[in-house]
Amino acid sequence: GGTMGRRRGPAVVAAIWAMWALGSLRHGAGEFMPNPLQGQGAPPREPVDVYFSVVLDRLLNVDEQNYRWEAMLYVYMSWEDPRALDTVANRTAEVRAGGECALACQSEYTSLFNPVFQCCDSLWRPGFMMTNLYELSESMVLRYGMVTTDLGVVGWWTTLKAVFYSPMDFRQFPRDEQELLAEFRVANLAASGVRSVIPSLTSTEFFTQGPGDVAAGWSVNSIRMDAFREAPGNYIRGSSVDGEPFPLKANDLWPDGGFTDSLMNAGVTVHVLVSRFGVYSGITIVLPIMLVTALSFVVYFVSAHLLETRLTISVTLVLTITALQFVIAAGMPASSYVTGVQKLMVLSYTTIFIGVPESLFTYSLAKWREEHGAGTPKASAKDLGAKDLGASGNGAGGASRDPQSALRLVALGALSAGRLRMQSERSLKRLARIVDRLFCAALLTVYVVIATLIMTNVI
């Protein structure tokens, strides 16, 4: 059974892989969308090198919630095929003699009455599948062209309006850059007629040029391609269960590899590097957060005795930034980790809330004399009056018996004690004010430094 499976394996590999590739193009509504890069015709006897170029005509959308991106691409391939010129000429003559053509060489010249019409339905062209394709646009107007020359070379270009899924990293939002991926793969080199896929030209501009944004909130920095040649089984860990007749990976019947290891793939991975417009995000997200946080520093310029006013300001700002957080969250990208804006939000919460314990401390400091030293001035006045009265009696020979002198001395003592109490209270208020100013300056410095580090993606 194992020997028979190995004999039939190469014959069914291409069929199974083709079914999988068609399944990857199934549209969400249950319909198949045609693959503009599907191959056709009989491959050459000797495999050829295919040169692959991609031009990004327009970045249409970056979906931050579903990690997808949409673009209009122009894909161009060229290869050597000495049969091509005669194949196209013979088929064109047959069609003009009354035959039917399934595929014109140019999408713009499909009429037999056009002198430049040619039929390319028998011309061999390599087939590529897009591994991370999500969907092809139903509204896409397919434009393509195939050119053959007497030098035995073929050029094929086509438009491609597609949505790809790609990993994205938003930890540095709103100053993030994303590397959008699109993979083009020849599934089975042995049966495809392709020896290797060679990256050629890339560009971020083509027909659609002019002033204005490419896509809302994003700018395209660069585009590049990397070639690969590998067996897809390298990405699958483990092995298939023993006894499976045609396993996905190696097992006891296929110790040298299964379905995936029997296929050698080649292709290119397109990397489109885009960056977010930081000014827009800064005005709509970062600026409101920092303005609300800046208002919290007003607390430290309110008198320490007005505890209720200071606490009201702090609580109101906490509620304000909480409401602002819900508004900002609606426009934030979906992310499973903390972004830069969320770090800034946590810093702002901490900065606003820390004013509450500081206000309690300065309030207690300013009120300490009233709460702990209220009885001291009166005692001091009596003691001072008694001492002055005794001193007068001893020195003046009975003058202390004068009631008016005694009262006058007691009043002077009380006045001196009151002045001492007022000076003590003023000193405590001044100390509380100094504490407020120093704490405000230190907190503002720390906030600015940490916020700068967050916005510059240092932390």
Distance CA 34, CA 25 (A): 8
* Least confident segment among 114-123, 216-225, 248-257, 325-334: 248-257
**For residue 155, what are its two tokens?**
């050029």
Distance CA 359, CA 1 (A): 84
Higher pLDDT, 440 or 378: 440
For the whole model, what pTM was predicted? 0.72
Looking at the DSSP bridge assignments, the partners of residue 40 are 125
User: What is the DSSP-derived secondary structure letter of residue 283?
Assistant: I
Choose the most confident range, by mean pLDDT, from 208-217, 290-299, 391-400, 415-424: 290-299
Q: Which residues does 230 contact at the CB level (< 8 Å), separation at least 6?
A: 264, 265
**The tokens 């690969």 sit on which residue?**
228
Nearest Cα to Cα of residue 56 among 266, 201, 258, 260: 201
The whole-number average pLDDT for the span 28-47 is: 78
Q: Flag whether pLDDT at 337 surpasses 90.
A: no
pLDDT at 376: 45
* Least confident segment among 105-114, 276-285, 372-381: 372-381
What φ, ψ does residue 311 adopt, rounded to 5°?
A: -65, -35
Higher pLDDT, 296 or 15: 296
pLDDT at 324: 92
Count of CB atoms within 10 A of residue 126's CB? 22
pLDDT at 212: 60
**For residue 164, what are its two tokens?**
């790809």
pLDDT at 16: 45
Largest Cα separation within the chain, whole Å, is 152
Q: Is 47 exposed, middle or buried (0-12, 13-18, 19+ CB in 10 A)?
A: middle
Q: Strands 194-203 and 48-63: what pairing?
A: parallel
Q: For residue 174, is the peptide bond before it cis, meaning its omega torsion is within 30 degrees of 0?
A: yes
Residue type, 450: I
The whole-number average pLDDT for the span 434-454 is: 94
Q: Flag whether pLDDT at 426 surpasses 60.
A: yes
The answer to whether 445 and 297 have CB atoms below 8 angstroms apart is no
Q: Which residues does 402 contact at the CB level (< 8 Å), separation at least 6?
A: none
**For residue 18, what are its two tokens?**
């083709």
The whole-number average pLDDT for the span 373-393 is: 47
Instruction: Give residue-wise pLDDT tens across range 146-178.
Output: 999 999 999 999 999 999 999 999 888 888 899
